[in-house]
Amino acid sequence: MHQLIVTFTLAPDVPIDRFLEWSRTVDQPRTGAYPECREFEVYPVVIHNGQVAQTCDILERAVIDNYADWRERLASDEHADVAAQFDELVISETVQVFVTEM
């Protein structure tokens, strides 16, 4: 089992509230329902090192069965529409994925 921590910055024209609404209504129900996913949580980052966040806007935490299988799932045709929407909402170069074993 793996735990993922994913951080990223939103595109300049995307307010945090818009992203969180999309996450609540599209991403979390869909992605969290995949059988490989045990937990999926999304947090807005408001404080970083005692200051207003500058390194990322969003932190996602997921617990999944296997990281390799998860990457395949997210790259699948089944997930393509969610991935495309995500790509419109974030600055892709800022996405960082940290993986730990549980």
Domain map (residue ranges) of the chain: 2-101
At residue 83, the 3 state secondary structure works out as helix
Nearest-angstrom CA–CA distance, 9 and 16: 10
Per-residue model confidence (pLDDT) at position 46? 77
Distance CA 18, CA 10 (A): 10
Over residues 10-14, the mean pLDDT reads 95
Contact 23, 41 (CB under 8 A): no
Say if CB 90 and CB 53 are below 8 A apart.
no
Compute the residue count for the chain.
102
Q: CATH number of the domain at 2-101, out of 1.20.58.340, 3.30.70.100, 3.40.109.10, 3.50.50.60? A: 3.30.70.100
What confidence category does residue 74 fall into, taking pLDDT thresholds of 50, 70 and 90? very high
Instruction: Check pLDDT > 60 for residue 10.
Output: yes
